[in-house]
Structures are given as structure tokens and as C-alpha cells.
Chain A
Amino acid sequence: METNREPLEQADYILEVKNLKKYFPIKGGFLNGPVGYVKAVDDISFAIKRGTTMGLVGESGCGKSTAGRTILRLLEKTDGQVLFDGQEVFSFNRKEMQEIRTKMQIIFQDPYSSLSPRLPVGEIIGEAVREHNIVKKEQFDEYITKIMNDCGLQEYHKDRYPHEFSGGQRQRICIARALALNPEFIVCDEPVSALDVSIQAQIINLLKELQEKFGLTYLFISHDLSVVEHISDTVGVMYLGGMVEIGNTKDIFSNPLHPYTKALFSAIPIPDPDAQINRIILEGSIPSPANPPSGCKFHTRCSECMEICKSEIPQVKDMGDGHIVACHLYNDK
């Protein structure tokens, strides 16, 4: 925010994603070979500075989660680059990957299915700690207790099973599990979507606290724009596998450029009964990522669609101050 995007300061960016693509093959036919691809993530690029939070927003099915998981190499990429601390994540072998996994963690959306029902909480949190020898054996218990306390859990929760906890507490367990490995970067894959609003605030505040305490970097995936506005330093907007707009939170929310971003942000409810609601209603539904529209992927639903949009893929344009948009309406500043 304070500084302009400076490509020279490489080390400042903990994560750089360059032209990342992730296609899922659609199998079929006689030999069960691929007959097509679902382009879940199609050529996205962005970078996250150390200690900041990047929000990733978009409708359901636009590839936010896939992008998050591909970055962590939970899915193999199709093309592009993911540089973590300047190193290509996909170049590591199995052993190196096991080591690097402690540096980058993920918090899942559903705190119910992301905890093994047959392990006590202490084991869930401590298992990977032991696996990676993060602390000495003597300090193990103490360490787990400390992590749990940091995440708002009590020591006596250790021997309990996940089903004994409420959703918020479970999400705290998930956070503790991620945090226990002492990571630098955490992908938060819609961590509050499954929680009710009061708990959402608790979790968001916990995440912010932890970020300050440990200097964490977040990739915060959500479709909840108000949450993203609250937590993020920068925001990326995705539509149908592609990145349509990236910019500082303030810029994006005050001055959205891309028609899709505009439509998306117009859906944020304003807590003022007198406020004039000026919603842009998008027509139609999101096209299939297996067969995306030609040209600008958004042109089928865009209110400002031009002829060029139907045939040419819009280039990324820098509108200044790191505000990047991919739309034919704008030209480079």
C-alpha cells in the first residue's frame, strides 16, 4: 500500500504467481482419454508482499479455491510458475516439498470435514509438528499448549475429539494446526464462510492478531466482500478462472474499474435504509469453464460489451498504483 509495486524488490514478495494455469481433463470416449478440459485457473498472475493479506474474490466456481490449492501444490499445475520466496514450488522433489510444506499452510472452509473424527485435538495439531521435528520432544506439550492458547483454545481441549467442538472452535483448531508448523504463508480458503456472523468476526480478528504477532502472509479466499475489505491489503477479483482486476483494497472498493467488479461490489448490502441502492444485476449465469466464451470471458454478461470483447482477449492494463485491470474499456495509463 505504502509503496508502489516495485518489480525490483523481489525479496519483498513472498509469493509470486506467474501465468498459472490449472486445467482438469474431462475424460470420456472409448479409451477414457481426455476429451476436453475444465479451465479452472486460466492464466492468472499476482504477487503478495510479505506480511500482507491478499483477498481473492469471485463467484462460486470461478477457480479461487483451485488457485489456492494449486499454489500450495495440493494440485499439480498445468502451466505457469509459482515462486515461493523466489523458488519454484513445482521444482521441489518429494522430500524438499515435505519441508517447504511447513512454510505454507492452508485453512479450509469446512471445519467439520477438515478434522479427522478419530483423532483427539492435541494429536491433530501436534501430528505434523512431530513429523517435522519442529520442537524438541520435551517441549512438545508445552508448544502445543502455547499454540492452542494463541488460537483461543484451552489446554484441556487436547484430549477431546473434533465432534465435541462448535464450528468456531473447530476453525480455531484448524488455524492452530496450520500455525503449529510455524508457517510464513497461509492460504485461507473461505475460512469463515461456514460460520455464523459473530463467530466470523472472532475468527477474522484472530487471524489479524496472529498476522501481527507472527508476521504472517495470507491469501484470503472469500466470496464475502465485506470480510475481504476488512482484512485485505490488496484484492484480486476472479471471473471464470481468470483474474479481471487487482488492486489495493481501498482503490478497488472505492473505484472498481472492471464491469464485473462493479457488478460484484454493487451487491454489497449497505447498512443504511436510506441509501440508494444502485445494483447492477448480471444477466445469465456463469458460463461453463469447460467451454469458456471467446474473447473476454465476461462479454456474455457484460453490460458494456463491445464487438472487440467478443473476439479479443483483453490485455492486462496497469491503471497506476498497482491497480491492474483486464478490460477493453481501459487503456494503459
Chain B
Amino acid sequence: MPRPPSPSIPEREFLYASLKQSLRLDGRLPLEMREPTLTFGPDLGWVDCAMGRTRVLASVDGKMVKPTPERPLEGVITIHSEISPMASSDYETGRASDEEVVLTRMLDKVLRRSDTVDKESLCVQAGQRVWHLRLTIHCLADAGNLLDCACLAGIVALKHYRRPEVEVEGEDVTIHHPSERAPIPLAMHHTPYCFTFAYFPDTTTQAVLDPTSLEQRLSAGLLSIALNAQRELCVVQKAGGVPLAPDEVMRIINVAVGKAKELDRIVEKRLQEDWSTRNVEVR
């Protein structure tokens, strides 16, 4: 099948008409996001993040590698993400869709280039051994706003992950199994969250946060903002679409700040709940 067909005329007209009255199909307010559900797996750094029917699974694993000669004191973080037809019948295998390119680039900007994880703390022996963290993002289902869900899953996975403790004695490096010594969390500078707003062709229609797939496809431009609860802006992305006034962007950023604080509370609460159920034996 070629590219997915664009939504039908009745769907388009109805969505625009109802958004004009600030009504959304799932009963949300325009600037309300779906509450994320975070489920942690048996392994550290394994997170299943669901926002409505959008579902993303993220997992982190670490191994020792030799660092690159240019940066002998820094660990390596790689992000692997792929959108397969499993997420939605709109995607096909082989060819990377525009959505996939955007997702990969945004994940790289939000999670890696914003210096979320302190890379120097991942160094074990300068120029010899560093930790290589591999973050894998599996998109299980796409019901709209896959990007925010994937970013959230990725950041929570990094926060949830704990690496084994390492002991260095001269040239000898001992990696302690988690059952011997408690694994240690990654040193994180901050936790950015991504928020996507959809704009519609009719300029009197208010922007909506966390668009569903129908809203996303009928939108006339998406604005993605990544920031942390401390009001530090990491990424602002707007690839084409309707022009926006600076005031509008500032207004939306202020909305996003509030949402980031809310989301941060949810994430911290869930992480704490999960950690309290885990029994880390220290012998």
C-alpha cells in the first residue's frame, strides 16, 4: 500500500468544526495531555510508556568499550529507534518515513545532545574503558504524538537504569554484579520532556497539546518543545506549517513549563514507587 490516505472529508470538516468550539474527540481540553502510564519491567532501565493508545517501550543496557581517541574521557550513548509497521499500518518497512527521521533527530537532540547524562561520569579508565549506553526505543503503537511518548519513555528509561558498580585497582577493572553490590544510577544533569502542539489552518482555532493521530494529520504545523522542569529550554522545533508570532511561541513555552513540572512529579512518583518495590540485596 502506498502512503496512508489523508483523512476523509467528513472527518476533516468535523474535526475543524469541533475544534473551533474547543471540543476534542477524546473529551480533553485543548491544552490537556493524556496522562502517561509508566510500567517498569523486571530489568533496570526497561520502561513501557503508554499515552492513551500510543505505546513505546524503551530499554537501556550498558557495556564496556574503548572510548574514541577524540574523547578519551567520555562515555558513549547511542539511541536506536525505528518505526515499524507494528506501530500502525501507516508505516512501511524499509524506507524511512518522514516521521521516523523527525523522531530519530528529536530523540538525539532531546536525550543526547542536551547533555542529559553526564558523559564524563561514564568513564572508567581514561582512554581505556568507558561505559557505552545503548538506548533502544521500540514504537509499539501509534495513536498520535509518538514523539512525546518516545522522549518520555527514553528519559524515564535513563533515569530508571542503574549501572553495575566498577572497581579499579591499578590496571585491573572489576565489574560487580548487581547482586554483589548495589548498582548506581546514572549521573543526570537534568530531565527534559518533550511537548508537541498542533496548529490548525484556521488561525482562530486554539493550538492543541498532545495531538491524536487524526489531529496530527489534519494540523497545519506542529511545534515541539523540549524543556525541563527548571524552565531550561532544550529544543524548539517547528518544521514548516503556519507562521507563528513570537508572543504565541512565548505563551506556548509558558504552558509547556507548567506541563513539564506536572510531568516531572508524575515521573518522580512512579520511579519512587517502583524503586520501593525492588529489593536490592547488598552483601
Tell me if chain B binds chain A: no
